[in-house]
Chains A and B, each alone.
Chain A
Amino acid sequence: MIVNQKKMQDLADNMLNAEEVQGRSLWADAAGRFMHNKAAVGGVITLLLIVIFTLVGPAFAQWSNEEIDWTVIGQVKTLGAPSIENGHYFGTDDLGRDLYSRVIQGTTISLMVGIIGSLVAVIVGTLYGAIAGYVGGRVDNVMMRLVDIFMSIPYMFVLILLLVIFGRSINMLFVGIGLVSWFDMSRIVRGQTLSIKNKEFIEAAIAAGVSNFTIIMRHIVPNLIGIVIVYASLLVPGFILTESFISFLGLGVQEPLTSWGALISEGAKTLQYGTLWQIGFPLFFFVITLFSMFFIGDGLRDALDPKDR
């Protein structure tokens, strides 16, 4: 028996080593396939352009994001339209502040919110869901009931308490986003894990005596990647808009700083009044960023799908 166990261990080790060697080519494969997906590559390029814009754009701005143009305020409808002459390339908001600078500054914040939100969702959500689903039984029950509780708690009060206890700061915004971002992801991942863990290759790994942790990390998680990536890209718009709720309570972004959520909501309020640039420009950046993320998400899914060859 002892010999057998040792043999099995060796076998398992060999399997793992073999997989690692093969893993590198898998990644190269995936990268190759990703590069062949035009939409995904287009998405990456667009995202890069937006990032470059936020870095280079301020150099061309004639107004800061907080200065009020006293000649425009009060006559935004007529004087606040986009114009090269007065330096408001994207027009002004209702207070006569330069939208070009505000959009650039808002983009920085909203991109960060989107990225941090999805990172937390992917990492915490995936691990939590995979562990619950794989271990199952009582552990699963407790872990999932906890998520039920977290999802039902009036979240607003958590945010207000964060504000009262820690005071306002941009970091608290990310804490606020991170707190809620992973619940849905963990549910989806758990559901998929329940189904994956009955597959032959998992049974084989169990028979080979591979540890639970290793099985989760090496066999379960890679098979979840498709759904995780697609779902993460679906969550991003939600995070970006949740930010404005958090800021509403006083925890997040404060004037004169702004974000896409804030800019778009201000713009939407003036929809019926004809100052369409106020919604148009922030919305444009919001939309193309999300589209890029969707395409990248789908491209990654296709590229990483271990069966899709």
Chain B
Amino acid sequence: MSIFILKRLLTAIPTLLILIVISFILMHSAPGGPFTSERALPPQVEANINAKYGLDKPLHEQIYIYVKSIVLDFDFGPSFRYKDRSVNDLISDGFPVTLTYGSISALVAVLFGVTLGVIAALNHNTWKDYTALSFTFTAQVLPNFVMAPLLVLLFTLYLGWLPGGGWEGGKPQYIIMPVIALSTSYMATIARITRSSMLEVMNSNFIRTAKAKGLPYPRIVFKHALKPALLPVLSYMGPAMVGLITGSVVIDMYFSTGGIGVLFVNGALNRDYSTIMGITILVGTLTVLLNLLVDILYAWIDPKIRY
């Protein structure tokens, strides 16, 4: 197993390099640059700016310099959009925010989602099943960008219970609404995947055998059925976790939380090359790591799995 992990970590290096090169080329080929503005800059001014940020060099050289400064100094360069900040600053300020509300949301989504899904599956085609189903259906068609304004209208304007946004270093009253808005649709998805795979597992031969052997029902469910039923949830959670902890634009925008979601979108719209790259690398790294984690958990859930 440790050899497998080591190998996978090693493959992360070429993976990230390819990611950097492709993203770099894509970004620079898209029309407009960080300094394209309503009024075209005089050529001399533009040349000065390009020289300052190293944009006057050929693309391959820029990539080389970029990668080198990351490897040697862990320096992701200055931001083109937020000119008072380096990308290191921006990410180290924004990522903890996103990570906080993202991981709380993930926890909430998994706990409630799995519970709902299991209840629905064990009571297949009864009222409990239908209640759980309709709840998840509704949650599914009410994505976070709907939840967010609704929550603010309700809790801030009508009830006056919670502040309408901000982060303030992560005080609880600022976290509640982002977590609700973010976790709902993930929770619904998890519930429905759990329900479906739980149904499948409960109908499989080994559970029938277990039932026939007269094992107590709770033990069948929790000891034997739940683990294999969580396999697809796990596959889903890999990419979903990346989505959750690398931030949601909607949350950052509606609740002005200042996480890296809004940073990335603003970066992309403003062609803030260095910020886009910084966050892309962060996302890429997390994707690789979380998928590795998922693969390790697969082997734990189903010991027969070999890579």
Is A bound to B? yes
Chain A interface (Cβ < 8 Å from any Cβ of B): 136-137, 140-141, 144-145, 148-149, 151-154, 156-158, 160-161, 164, 183-184, 187-188, 190-192, 194-195, 198, 226-227, 230-231, 234, 237, 241, 268, 271-272, 286-287, 290-291, 294, 298, 301-302, 305, 307-308
Nearest CB on B from A298, distance (A): 8
The 7 closest A-B pairs by CB, nearest first: A191-B235, A152-B284, A198-B304, A157-B26, A188-B235, A230-B196, A157-B30
CB atoms of A271 and B15 under 8 A apart: no
Nearest CB on A from B147, distance (A): 11
Q: Which of B163-222 contact A (CB under 8 A)?
A: 189, 192-193, 196-197, 199-200, 203-205
The closest CB in chain A to the CB of B136 belongs to: A294
Bound form: Cα–Cα A237–B184 in Å: 14
A sample of 14 more A-B contacts (CB under 8 A), given A157-B29, A195-B228, A271-B153, is: A154-B268, A157-B27, A161-B29, A164-B31, A191-B294, A195-B231, A195-B298, A198-B304, A231-B193, A291-B141, A294-B133, A294-B140, A307-B205, A308-B203
CB atoms of B283 and A227 under 8 A apart: no
- Total A-B pairs, Cβ < 8 A: 146
11 A-B interface contacts by CB (under 8 A): A154-B27, A160-B30, A191-B235, A195-B304, A198-B305, A230-B193, A237-B143, A287-B141, A290-B141, A298-B133, A302-B199
Chain B residues within an 8 Å CB radius of A268 = 145-146, 149
The closest CB in chain A to the CB of B297 belongs to: A191
Chain A residues within an 8 Å CB radius of B59 = none
Nearest CB on B from A195, distance (A): 5
CB atoms of A290 and B30 under 8 A apart: no
Chain B interface (Cβ < 8 Å from any Cβ of A): 8, 11, 15, 18-19, 22-23, 26-27, 29-31, 133, 137, 140-141, 143, 145-146, 149, 153, 189, 192-193, 196-197, 199-200, 203-205, 228, 231-232, 234-236, 238-239, 242, 264, 268, 276, 280, 283-284, 287-288, 291, 294, 298, 302, 304-307
CB atoms of A241 and B143 under 8 A apart: yes
Chain B residues within an 8 Å CB radius of A195 = 228, 231, 298, 302, 304-305
State the majority secondary structure of interface residues on A.
helix
Chain A residues within an 8 Å CB radius of B200 = 226-227, 305, 307-308
Chain A residues within an 8 Å CB radius of B307 = 136-137, 140-141
Bound form: Cα–Cα A141–B239 in Å: 16
CB atoms of A234 and B298 under 8 A apart: no
User: Which residue from B140, B239, B264, B280 sits with its C-beta under 8 Å from A234?
Assistant: B140
User: Which residue from B31, B197, B203, B298 sits with its C-beta under 8 Å from A227?
Assistant: B197
CB atoms of A290 and B140 under 8 A apart: yes
Chain A residues within an 8 Å CB radius of B30 = 157, 160-161, 164
CB atoms of A154 and B291 under 8 A apart: no
Chain B residues within an 8 Å CB radius of A227 = 193, 196-197, 200, 232
